[in-house]
Amino acid sequence: MLLDNSLYYTSYKIWSYMPEYIRHDEGTFASLTKQQKEAVGLLSIGTFLEYFDLMLYVHMAVLLNDLFFPKADHHTQAIYSAIAFCSTYVLRPIGALIFGYIGDNMGRKTTVIITTFMMSFSCIIMANLPTYAQIGISATYIISACRIIQGMSSMGEIVGAELYLTEMIKSPIRYAVVALVGVFGTLGMTAALAIASCVTSYGLNWRIAFWFGAGIALIGSIARTNLRETPDFINTKKRIKNLIKITGFNAEKLESHPILQEKVNKKTVLSYFLIECTGPVWFYISYLYCGNILKNTFNFSVEEVIHQNFIVATVEFLSTIIVTYLIKKIYPLKVLKVKLIIFSVFATISSILLGKISNPLELLYFQLFFAIFAPTGFPGFAVFCTKFPVFKRFLCTSFTFAVSRAVMYAIVSFGIVYLVEYFNHNGLLFLIIPILIGYAYGLFYFIRLDKVSENYHQRD
């Protein structure tokens, strides 16, 4: 039954379909209310904390993989690195399904407690885990299991935060507010690199970073629990019944309403999937692939690799702020279209440029271009998600997001190892070109939908 599932989300969605005279002043959303500002703040902080914990190991992998994986040649080490990296994402869709079910049937508070505990617990284990030299292959298995747990517990929270704000705030301010969540996600990644850089540069024990991460997860629990200042999950059924009574619906009529029966368009799902597939490719090339070049070609130390990646992350963070400001005046899909055009020209010669790079500074410029111009789903989520049926929106967007990460991180992690081995830098084009074609298809599909609704030609 509908009334027994997804109560927290459907309460607002039903509310959003009530006539204007029922919603009173809240229906206008002319400016952000105090409650909305608090929601933006808490959701942004939660996303920051999640990405900090999730990316801490990723950015310290050049150090930690040597400690937790067997010693081997460069090729085998690359395979180990791929396993450690993609293990974070491969079971994320399962985590989305499991915790989505728990959230729908037991409440958000229970889900938050479980996922936060899992994130914190995995950080504590990693902070105390003996190295491969001490306990052998068991260290490899345990560290991989911890990464899987972190990936599952994160369950695409950024999607939930962005969707919540999309449905709470009216355009045009909606686009910038939702993009702000992405900005804080990038800030979390940058902060993880900052901690990693400090730990390695000043000779501190790397375990301190993970103890810090465990504490961060507990703080995140408090922040996200405070978001429950809105009506509790337990009272939501009563609220829905009251709304049904006000509007003259009964439960049976509500379940058969066209809004609830609206089907998901497969092309919309495919287009969104293709758009979200880009992020893993650009991230892996910018930070991990280029990081390996710094280490193996230019003999950078672990500290130097992390420091250069920190510079890239900082610039990427600043670029997200600029883009967030731009979409206050320019429609998000227009921004994405421009980025696609600029980057596509660069992408076709990227392998040639990598082959001609002769010093770390030139490689830094290459990384920065990827960080600034590589097209992703940011900042278009507030547009994309509205193309899904309202009562299937959360499941469709979160699960599609999780699947795109699981599939692409696995493909990229292992694919680049073999493609580069056989084709050198040209092997990257076997991934870059198809990904750009898929992205272009997805983006122009959503642009066509917006042109039909006349949103694309509007300033907002």
* HEC-encoded secondary structure of 279-331: HHHHHHHHHHHHHHHHHHCCCCCHHHHHHHHHHHHHHHHHHHHHHHHHCCCCC
Q: Which two tokens stand for residue 348?
A: 């076709």
Structural contact between residues 332 and 175, judged by C-beta atoms closer than 8 angstroms: yes
430 vs 407: CA distance, rounded Å: 16
Other beta carbons within 10 angstroms of residue 228's beta carbon come to 15
DSSP string across 165-223: HHHHS-TTHHHHHHHHHHHHHHHHHHHHHHHHHHHHHTT--THHHHHHHHHHHHHHHHH
pLDDT of residue 253: 56
On the question of a cis peptide bond just before residue 389, with omega within 30 degrees of 0, the verdict is no
- For CA atoms 199, 187, 47, 150, the dihedral sign is negative
State the pLDDT at residue 97: 75
| pLDDT attached to residue 378 | 94
Distance CA 264, CA 57 (A): 37
How many other C-beta atoms can be found within 10 angstroms of the C-beta atom of residue 304? 19
The pLDDT of residue 16:
43
User: Cα(35)–Cα(45) distance, rounded to whole angstroms?
Assistant: 15
Distance of CA 24 to the CA centre of its chain: 35
Q: Where are the alpha helices (DSSP H) in 297-428?
A: 302-326, 332-347, 350-356, 360-373, 381-384, 393-423
- Which of 44-58, 225-239, 362-376 has the lowest average pLDDT? 225-239
Residue 318: the pLDDT is 96
Dist. CA 195–CA 59, nearest whole Å? 10
Give the other-Cβ count within 10 Å of 358's Cβ. 9
Q: Is the pLDDT of residue 207 over 90?
A: no
The answer on pLDDT for 37 being more than 90 is no
- What are φ and ψ of residue 333, in 5° steps? -70, -25
Is residue 439 predicted with pLDDT exceeding 80? yes
More confident residue, 203 or 295: 295
Residue type, 436: L
Secondary structure of residue 1 in the 3-state scheme: coil
Domains of the chain (ranges; CATH) run 11-230+262-452 (1.20.1250.20)
Verdict on whether the full-model pTM lies above 0.85? no
Q: How many alpha carbons fall within 13 Å on the CB side of residue 316? A: 33
pLDDT recorded at residue 27: 36
pLDDT single digits (tens) 377-387: 999 999 998 89
**What's the token pair of residue 41?**
């703040």
Supply the pLDDT for residue 257.
52
Q: Dump pLDDT digits (tens) for 327-341.
A: 988 999 999 999 999
Q: What is the pLDDT of residues 104-128, one digit of tens each?
A: 566 555 666 677 778 778 888 988 8
Query: Among residues 380, 352, 353, 379, which one has the least CA distance to residue 366?
Result: 353
Helices (H) and strands (E) in the chain, counts: 25, 0
pLDDT per position as a tens digit, 153-166: 776 567 777 877 88
Determine phi and psi for 345, rounding to 5 degrees.
Answer: -65, -45
Q: How many Å apart are CA 208 and CA 107, to the nearest integer?
A: 34
> Looking up tokens 């040639």, which residue turns up?
352
Question: What mean pLDDT do residues 214-242 have?
Answer: 57
AA identity, residue 101: Y
Average pLDDT over the chain, rounded to an integer: 79
Of 9-13, 127-131, 226-230, 389-393, give the lowest mean pLDDT range. 9-13
- Yes or no: say if 167 and 105 are a contact pair by the CB < 8 Å rule: no
Q: What's the whole-number mean pLDDT along residues 296-302?
A: 90
Instruction: Give the residue carrying structure tokens 């006000």.
Output: 246
Specify whether the CB–CB gap between 156 and 402 falls below 8 A. yes
Q: Which of the 8 DSSP states describes residue 265? A: P
Q: How far apart are CA 228 and CA 102, in angstroms?
A: 16
Higher pLDDT, 1 or 54: 54
Percentage, residues of the chain above pLDDT 90: 33
